[in-house]
Amino acid sequence: IWQLQSKFFLSVLKGNVVNIQTGHWVGKQSGLGAGSDSFYEYLLKSYILFGEKEDLEMFNDAYRNIQNHLRRGREACNEGEGDPPLYVNVNMFTGQLMNTWIDSLQAFFPGLQVLIGDVEDAICLHAFYYAIWKRYGALPERYNWQLQAPDVPFYPLRPELVESTYLLYQATKNPFYLHVGMDILQSLEKYTKAKCGYATLHHVVEKTKEDRMESFFLSETCKYLYLLFDEENPLHKSGNKYMFTTEGHIVSVDERFRNSLWQDILPGEEDGAGKIRPHEFKAVNFSSNCNRVPDERRYLLPLKSNYMRQIDRMVGLI
């Protein structure tokens, strides 16, 4: 996939659908949602798990291009003038805007930004999706940010917003994210609970239901909500020894996975003691990193109130 990226545009963007027999791009949309989300997620998580420098280099390159060509809005999340940050869908060959909608799968991205330390940008994007949730009590599958209305109005109990909420709480310990989790939980109880399980919302405005509950509701949505409130869970006392796959499975980040058997044949860099130095994990952060979140902000709103209101206006809440 990396070798098939666009050679026609300086951003070197990737599309969302490829013909696996010819290697030609069938879907020319470059974005962060359906068809693309897991690709970016696994570039970073492969590096975390296995320590291969090439995976990190590919992710850093991809993240740089995402920031340069998909991101719109002001440079800083919590300061400055202009619109709140937003990631749009563009043509992979030209970089031109393809449409004015985003999909609910994109709500995974703040969680990925937390993993690379770009917490400030994650806070802004998460607030945007949470504002949409507050308006409808769910996330429409596609939301048109220009029309301030759903393009595809169903909600199949997806976990991405809950996952990002959980990871942001783990990074900041700001009680605001517990409030977000409670808000999501109450919405699920109010609008999606059925006689036997929880139902997909056919229409987020009308709150009509479908006779369908996807398996990811149990394996991810419920799991991240449970972990959000379970402070004493062994996962939270492990010292970051575990990682979640894109489907919510728990994987051990074991040093044995990062010791390549071929290092005896192809030696890596050695330190003074003759030990192999792991390649430094240094993501290309756009605006900030974890260390930018001071202690005094842990018990305030993660965004200044004027920026919160700006996002609420952006989605038609006020």
Tens-digit pLDDT profile for residues 68-79 = 999 999 999 999
Kindly indicate the confidence band of residue 37, based on its pLDDT and cuts at 50, 70 and 90. Answer: very high
Q: Identify the burial level of 273 via C-beta atoms within 10 angstroms of its C-beta, where 0-12 means exposed, 13-18 middle and 19 or more buried.
A: exposed
- pLDDT for position 20: 86
Residue type at 144 in one-letter notation: N
Locate tokens 């951003």: which residue? 11
- pLDDT for position 12: 75
Residues 208, 136: Cα–Cα separation, whole Å:
12
- Where b means 16+ CB within 10 Å and e means fewer, 139-165 reads bbbbbebeeeebbebbbbbbbbbbbbb
Please give the average per-residue pLDDT across 232-243, as a whole number. Answer: 89
Degrees to nearest 5, angle at CA 103 with 102 and 109: 90
208 assigned binding-site residue: no
Average pLDDT, the chain: 88
Please state, for a pLDDT cut of 90, what percent of the chain lies above it: 74
- pLDDT for position 255: 84
- pLDDT for position 271: 46
Work out whether the CA dihedral 142, 143, 149, 151 comes out positive or negative.
negative
Tokens of 50: 């296995």
Please tell me the least confidently modeled range out of 12-21, 27-36, 54-63, 207-216: 12-21
pLDDT digits (tens, 9 = 90+) for 173-218: 999 999 999 999 999 999 999 999 999 999 999 999 999 999 999 9
End-to-end alpha carbon distance in the chain: 42
pLDDT digits (tens, 9 = 90+) for 263-310: 555 555 444 443 334 444 444 444 444 455 566 666 688 999 999 999
132 with 142: CB under 8 angstroms? no
Q: Which residue has the higher pLDDT, 182 or 3?
A: 182
153 with 141: CB under 8 angstroms? yes
- pLDDT for position 266: 52
Q: Which residue has the higher pLDDT, 141 or 241?
A: 141
If one counts every other C-beta atom within 10 angstroms of the C-beta of residue 295, the result is 7
Residues 6+ apart with CB under 8 A from 318: 309, 312
- pLDDT for position 240: 81
- pLDDT for position 9: 61
Please provide the DSSP assignment of the chain as one string: --TTS-SSSTT----SEE-TTT--EEE-EESSSTTTHHHHHHHHHHHHHH--HHHHHHHHHHHHHHHHHTEES-SSSSSSSSPPPEE--EETTT--B--SEEEGGGGGHHHHHHHHT-HHHHHHHHHHHHHHHHHHSS--SEEETTTTEEEE--B----HHHHHHHHHHHHH--THHHHHHHHHHHHHHHHTEETTEE--EEETTTTEE-S---HHIIIIIHHHHHHHH-TT-GGGGSSS-EEE-TTS-EEE--GGGGS-GGGGTS---B-TTSPBPPPP-----SS--GGGS-GGGGGS-SS-HHHHHHHHHHTT--
Kindly indicate the confidence band of residue 262, based on its pLDDT and cuts at 50, 70 and 90. Answer: low
Residues 6+ apart with CB under 8 A from 162: 181, 184, 220, 221, 224, 225, 228
Class of the 13-252+299-315 domain?
Answer: mainly alpha
Please give the average per-residue pLDDT across 242-248, as a whole number. Answer: 92
Kindly indicate the confidence band of residue 239, based on its pLDDT and cuts at 50, 70 and 90. Answer: confident
Which residues belong to the active site?
Answer: 141
Give me the residue spans of the domains in the chain.
13-252+299-315
